[in-house]
Amino acid sequence: MVTGGTGFVGRTLVRNLVSLGYPVRTLLKPSKQSPNLPKNIPVEVTVCSLNDPRGLLAALKGVDIIFHLAGTERLSTRADLNGVDVQGTKNIVEAAQQCNIERIFFLSHLGADRNSAYPVLKAKAISEKMIEQSGVPFTIFRCSNIFGPGDQFVVSLAKLLKSAPGFFFLPGNGLSVLQPLWIEDLIASLLVSLQNTETLNEILEIGGGEIYTFREIIESILSVINLKRTLIQLSPGYLRILAVYMDQFMKRFPVSLFWLDTLAEDRTTNLDTLPRRFGILPSRFLQQLAFLPAELK
């Protein structure tokens, strides 16, 4: 079962699992909106909230493996980190204990810390601990910024740059460093881990094979989408106030406020984890950005 199967990572994971012959069930929360399921992919669907313990028990009938990807950080100021990300994980874990689930895969963030001042990083760390202490075999992936078609990283920044009136505010000096991770490399790592037990009961930190400053990432995006913007340094505190204002008054503000948290500290890990642990040669960031212009149409 895949929770968050209609999200950016979930859709790609479901497509790959099905192509490899795995029977896949995805959990959909009750909603009036049509679910954004992967097209032309045979997948079983169960409609159930993460906060419905009895429904989760029914949803897990016949399930061996859980990929728990669901979260609300993409909803920005409307995110329910405690109700969905933390309590939802608690409910999934308790259901997994009762259903004798063989393994839980959980997607977390580099920098996850229960004492973090940043809500998403704190929520991820609390969820990690619940999974670790559950007694259910697990593998936790702490990831750097994941990018690819439909992401909330480079695509969202490209949309923000396109709508910017000739200039763009950089948080601080723009020298925070990131380690962009190509979506297909993440999925390949999950699939390799699924097929062996070497990563059982481990917390793995993974990122791409290159490190860039935030300024360099912005400049790369501008180059790919053929835009010119003046980059202006602004205090992260003032930028957060501006972002909150924009999120409240713009119907579809392209960037979650939580992306500012990822720039508060360097989010990097060992550069050789993908080839050393999974036999994967990391994709080059600049070579994979060719998808961006089509995302802006």
Q: H/E element holding 205?
A: strand 202-206
How many helices (H) and strands (E) are present in the chain, helices listed first?
10, 13
Contacts of 226 (CB under 8 A, 6+ apart): 293
- Does residue 254 have a pLDDT over 70? no
More confident residue, 83 or 15: 15
Identify the band that residue 71 occupies on the pLDDT scale cut at 50, 70 and 90: confident
Q: Provide mean pLDDT across the span 126-130.
A: 96
pLDDT score, position 161: 92
CATH fold label, 2-143: Rossmann fold (3.40.50)
Structure tokens at 3: 């929770």
φ and ψ at residue 35, rounded to 5 degrees: -70, 145
Q: What pLDDT digit, counting tens, does each position of 172-191 carry?
A: 888 989 999 999 999 999 99
Q: If we measure between CA atoms, which residue out of 220, 171, 203 comes closest to residue 277?
A: 203
Of 45 and 35, the one with more pLDDT: 45
Write down the residue that tokens 């809500």 correspond to.
Answer: 119
What pTM was computed for the model? 0.91
The amino acid at residue 92 is: I
What is the per-residue pLDDT across 284-294, written as a single tens digit (0 to 9) for each? 999 999 999 99
Mean pLDDT of 143-166: 92
Would you say residue 225 has pLDDT above 90?
A: yes
pLDDT-above-90 percentage for the chain: 69
pLDDT mean over 195-200: 93
194 CB contacts (<8 Å, ≥6 apart)? Answer: 65, 105
Taking Cα atoms as reference points, which of 110, 99, 31 lies closest to residue 62? 99
Confidence (pLDDT) at 127: 96
Cβ neighbours, 10 Å, residue 184: 14
Using the predicted structure, report yes or no on whether residue 29 has a pLDDT greater than 70: yes
